[in-house]
Amino acid sequence: MNAPNALNTTDDIIHRLRDVLTTGALPRSATERGERILERLTSPVRVVLLGLPDAGKASLLNAIVGRELTNDDCQTTIEFTYGDRPRAHVTLADGSILETEGTFAQDDFPDAIFVSQELPLPILRRISLIDVVADPAPEELGTAITWALSRTDIAVWCSMAFTEDELTIWEYVPEAIMDHAFLVLTGTPQDQGNKILQARADHLRETLSGEFLDVFALNGLRGPVAGEETPDNSAGVLTDRILQHSELGRTADADGALLFLRAHDETLSRLRDQATAQAPARPVEKETSDKAVNPAQRAVYSAAYAYLRARGAQLLKSIRQSENLDTSTLIDYCGETVSHLGELVASSEDTTPAELIELTETLTEAEELFVLLELEKGTTSSVDAVSLLLQLRRDFETRLAV
């Protein structure tokens, strides 16, 4: 969708958002929200690899980046991020952090508990990767997962077969993460044939439809498979899906930034006019705002988020069932969702209008954008509609996280 003031690219939006935030003219609450949006837009998407030991996480990570960075013998959780040269920040058991040039070697730091490894790999400009290493005991693994999920955008659970015990652990994962999670079956050396793994993946895709965004069967991570005439490229397919999902999230963040800029454009214009008319007699105090969300607000946010999640799940189901979903139908569905969302927020009896004024303005702006999309109606418009819906859901996730 085209934005006013030539905001035609994500870079344009980022520059404009930075300019707006540096004015210091917005209320504190709006500034904090804008800073969170800016951080998401300018940071690589964080991908975390989870699972039991020997599930193939290291092999999968290597397949995603296209080179060997780690192996299953590594006993330390490693985060791979972009840097202009190889450099590692090593956290030791005593809490101290050492910086070393080059790549991390386990033998050099036997008591390392976490490593942030910088590498000049192009893919790391788009995504960062964390291979989470933890003891298989439920308590230890649960603690590691909780830590990892606090710093992730996309989760990938690696498993040989995804047992009932693993499902029990996974059910503790927040629903917000499940919407951005993939299950990867790596199989055992005995059953890595495409047909065996794929049949298992198809079965789990049906039974775990609400737990994961998709299920993949990755053949060949543990080496060549006897009887397979052609090399398996499922790791490449998964990588493409992760990158596509990350780009969809980035597009949603960009749309969210546009909503933010449009919602506060009138405020900024008014302040600029006032500054031009006369100099203030004294510095204007910024509006103070407690970051904490009161119970009534949280109840509204929770209800709205649950509604958006249910509508999103229904939309995904419709898309999967119909290869040629009508563009007009899709846009109408998204528009109806936002309209009902506005009614849901407005009908709250336990909050004051002041507490929800920013949210109401955002939803009103979203409804106006859907009117424009309805007039345009095309493939691009349908993508914009879905992206806008995703951004609204992410906005509620952010509000609930405060």
CA dihedral 153, 159, 161, 163 (to 10 degrees): -70
The pLDDT score that the predictor gives to residue 127 is 93
| Series of mean pLDDT values for 10-residue runs along the chain (402 residues) | 60 89 81 87 93 90 91 90 96 92 91 94 94 85 85 92 89 84 83 73 88 85 45 74 87 84 71 56 46 71 80 73 69 81 71 60 67 58 69 75 64
d(CA 398, CA 402): 7
Q: Using an 8 Å Cβ cutoff, are 241 and 250 in contact?
A: no
The pLDDT score that the predictor gives to residue 255 is 85
Task: Write the CA distances from 101 to 87, 98, 279, 326, integer angstroms.
Answer: 4, 10, 53, 54
Domain ranges of the chain: 1-42+247-271, 45-232
Tokens of 211: 């737990």
d(CA 83, CA 118): 5
The dihedral built from the CA positions of residue 308, 13, 368 and 286, taken in this order, carries a sign that is positive
The pLDDT score that the predictor gives to residue 157 is 95
d(CA 11, CA 254): 9
d(CA 51, CA 131): 9
The SS3 assignment for 89 reads strand
The pLDDT score that the predictor gives to residue 47 is 95
The pLDDT score that the predictor gives to residue 3 is 41
Q: Can you give 269-291 as a three-state secondary structure string?
A: HHHHHHHHHCCCCCCCCCCCCCC
Tokens of 287: 């509006």
Residue recorded with tokens 């975390």 = 48
Work out the burial of residue 310: count CB atoms within 10 Å of its CB; fewer than 13 is exposed, 13-18 middle, 19 or more buried. Answer: exposed
Helix 234-277 / helix 357-376 crossing angle, nearest 10 deg:
120
The pLDDT score that the predictor gives to residue 224 is 42
Q: Identify the CA nearest to 221 among candidates 132, 158, 155.
A: 158
Q: What are phi and psi of 217, to 5 degrees?
A: -110, 115
Strand 154-159 vs strand 45-51: parallel, antiparallel, or unpaired? parallel
For 45-232, CATH number out of 3.90.25.10, 3.40.50.300, 3.40.50.150, 3.40.710.10 equals 3.40.50.300
